Amino acid sequence: MDKRYPDTYYSDYLQLGRLLECQQRKSESYGSPAHDEMLFIIVHQAYELWFKQILFEIDSVREIFGGDSVEEKRIGLAVARLLRVTEIQKILIDQLRVLETMTPLDFLDFRDFLFPASGFQSVQFRMIEIKLGLLSARRLKYDEAPYHSRLSGEHRERLFDLESETSLFDLVERWLERMPFLEEEGFRFRERYGGAVVRMLEGDRDLIRTHSTLSAREKELQLEELDRTLASFESLLDPDRHGSLQEKGRWRLSHRATLAALFITAYRDEPLLHMPYRLLDCLVDVDELFTTWRYRHALMVHRMIGAKIGTGGSSGYHYLKSTAETHRIFSDLTNLSTYLLPRAALPRLPDELLKKLAFVYRP
């Protein structure tokens, strides 16, 4: 290492001169400074910094999955970066507690100055959603208007452009679809799994029927539930049924990708599948943490402004709360739990396949 680099000074490196000049209170410029507006600004800026970091990580994961094939060793890298995203998301959630140190009465001191600005206008958050894979068509409308109606033309353009890019959802789906192993010589995963399912559910049926403390009505309800479960399994395993539910929006992942995800989840103990499993688990985590964040955010808004019109005229927290779940992206992966069999009931993999899923080195 030779020394080609000039000295670095902390404050210059972080551009603190500019960064710490970006906090201008409206209330101050209008001559009635409201103390808590500073907090309001800084909390939101901290959010936007973290959003930038999350975008940076998502982009890098999209790049990893962007090629025609993914080098196995790079999946660990993708996992590490998604784990980082989840650690940031925990901060996003905890930051709400800081904002909640502002009381509704204190917020009123400057709320009118912000009109009609609103957190709905965070372009970066919309970019995160789009890059993860939220489809415009799946977004809830707000006041009958599309999600981008409050944005400037420039920002709207940027989001439209982004919507035509390939999302992380798409890339993961393709990667799953490419996965071999589902159809090996003498092994058809789908058929084998389906057989095991039927055996298990028939056991459950007996369990309910012969149950001593359930009332007749309860049994009836549970057997109906079981039938729905069986139908649901079929809708997962049968390509046609899956396809028709996919058209209705009940499933989003392709049939092939869903089966691959199920395979990974069920046989995750095999070395080659370990990181892929952790990847899927991380995606569920990311989804769950954003869901939690949206929900907590909605509760905070409820507390802060009640049901009155929001800073941007929004009809309030009901919309936010509805998006918590609706804007989930990887719920197909979460729903896979429904279709898991206990290890003891899982079809055994052929030795040839097991070998493929192992390391070259054997002690």
List the interface residues with a copy of itself, window 106-125 (CB under 8 A): 108-109, 111-124
- Is residue 77 a contact point for a copy of itself (CB under 8 A)? yes
CA distances for 208 relative to 202, 232, 321, angstroms: 10, 19, 36
Sign of CA dihedral 261, 262, 265, 269: negative
- Is residue 159 a contact point for a copy of itself (CB under 8 A)? no
| Alpha carbon 138 to chain centroid, angstroms | 14
Tell me the closest approach of the beta carbon of residue 356 to a copy of itself, in angstroms: 5
The smaller minimum CB distance to a copy of itself, of residues 174 and 321, is found at 321
Q: Is 238 helix (H, G, I), strand (E, B) or coil?
A: coil
| Location of structure tokens 């959003």 | 51
From the list 247, 342, 348, 351, which residue makes contact with a copy of itself (rule: CB under 8 A)?
A: 342
The smaller minimum CB distance to a copy of itself, of residues 72 and 165, is found at 72
Site string for a copy of itself, 126-145 (x = CB under 8 A): -----------------xxx
- Is residue 304 a contact point for a copy of itself (CB under 8 A)? yes
Q: What is the DSSP string of 85-121?
A: HHHHHHHHHHHHHHHTTS-HHHHHTTHHHHTT--GGG
Whole-angstrom distance, CA of residue 128 vs CA of residue 169: 12
Binding segment for a copy of itself among 130-138, 190-198, 237-245, 292-300 (CB under 8 A)? 292-300
Whole-angstrom distance, CA of residue 28 vs CA of residue 9: 32
CB 237 within 8 A of CB 190: yes
- Is residue 9 a contact point for a copy of itself (CB under 8 A)? yes
From the list 176, 261, 275, 320, which residue makes contact with a copy of itself (rule: CB under 8 A)?
A: 275
Q: Which helix (H) or strand (E) holds 33?
A: none
Q: Which of residues 16-35 bind a copy of itself (CB under 8 A)?
A: 16, 18-24, 26, 30, 35
CB 139 within 8 A of CB 327: yes
Q: What is the DSSP string of 112-134?
A: HHHTT--GGG-HHHHHHHHHHT-
Sign of CA dihedral 92, 335, 347, 199: positive
From the list 159, 238, 341, 347, which residue makes contact with a copy of itself (rule: CB under 8 A)?
A: 341
- Is residue 326 a contact point for a copy of itself (CB under 8 A)? no
From the list 153, 185, 247, 343, which residue makes contact with a copy of itself (rule: CB under 8 A)?
A: 343
Tell me the closest approach of the beta carbon of residue 267 to a copy of itself, in angstroms: 10
- Please give the size of the binding site for a copy of itself, defined by CB under 8 A: 146
CB 93 within 8 A of CB 50: no
- Is residue 274 a contact point for a copy of itself (CB under 8 A)? yes
Q: Which of residues 222-241 bind a copy of itself (CB under 8 A)?
A: 222, 225-226, 229, 232
Site string for a copy of itself, 165-194 (x = CB under 8 A): ---------------x--------------
Tell me the closest approach of the beta carbon of residue 176 to a copy of itself, in angstroms: 14
- Is residue 325 a contact point for a copy of itself (CB under 8 A)? yes
Sign of CA dihedral 214, 220, 225, 231: positive
CB 187 within 8 A of CB 346: no
